[in-house]
Amino acid sequence: MNRAFFVMIFAGFTYAVINCNVAEAAESALAAGGEALETVLELCGAFMFFGGITQILERAGATGAAVGLLKKPLRKLFGSEISDEALGAVTMNLSANMFGMGNAATPMGLKASKLLNPDKRASAPAALCLLLVLNSTAIELFPATVVAMRYAAGSKKALAVVFPTLISTSVSCIVGIVLCKLCERRKSR
């Protein structure tokens, strides 16, 4: 990636030298750097705010409540062949994703994937495939990252994406589950 950026910057400055616009190119680069720093600082503030909200939700027991609500449906979805420990890790991972806590969800997702494939087979078991699909299409109750980015960009209606996100992630999750189950059924024939 560093090489790609180097090539783009080098090509831009080479073009500027050829067209005798070095001063304008340097001025534009410095202005863009300032704008990037301003955007990063705005995003940091928004991420800290929404990170604090998610921490409050987590400490208030929202994640634990989600685990309690999700455990039985996930047991039916994954079947009885997975261990309680794996199911707990899957549940924690998905509930953290639902509240937009992707960074907190990652360690539990990694733990769940190890527990779902203990033999480290080259081909992933159906339960691991289902976990990956659920992670990729996770139903998001509150898209904290997107709201933070919209807020930092100056959106007057930063929360306008919450309902459409909930609908689109729900539909994609349902479609993903159906396709996973169809593939699992087809493979078992």
Per-residue tens of pLDDT for the chain, all 189 residues: 788 878 888 888 788 788 877 788 778 877 887 888 877 787 777 667 766 776 787 678 776 777 678 788 888 888 877 787 788 888 888 877 777 666 667 778 888 888 888 777 777 788 888 888 988 888 888 887 788 778 778 888 988 998 999 999 999 999 999 999 998 888 777
For residue 175, what pLDDT is reported?
Answer: 94
Are the C-beta atoms of 140 and 167 separated by less than 8 Å? no
For residue 174, what pLDDT is reported?
Answer: 93
Structure tokens at 147: 């709201």
- Distance in angstroms (rounded) separating the CA atoms of residues 34 and 31: 5
Structure tokens at 137: 């299409």
For residue 51, what pLDDT is reported?
Answer: 67
For residue 185, what pLDDT is reported?
Answer: 85
Structure tokens at 76: 């039916």
- Distance in angstroms (rounded) separating the CA atoms of residues 64 and 86: 16
Domain ranges of the chain: 40-188
For residue 178, what pLDDT is reported?
Answer: 93
To the question of pTM greater than 0.95 for the whole model, the response is: no
Would you call 189 helix, strand, or coil by DSSP? coil
- Cβ burial 142-168 (10 Å sphere, 16+ → b, else e): bbbbbbbbbbbeeeeebeebbeebbee
Structure tokens at 50: 């929404």
Are the C-beta atoms of 161 and 146 separated by less than 8 Å? yes
* 62 phi/psi in degrees, rounded to 5: -65, -40
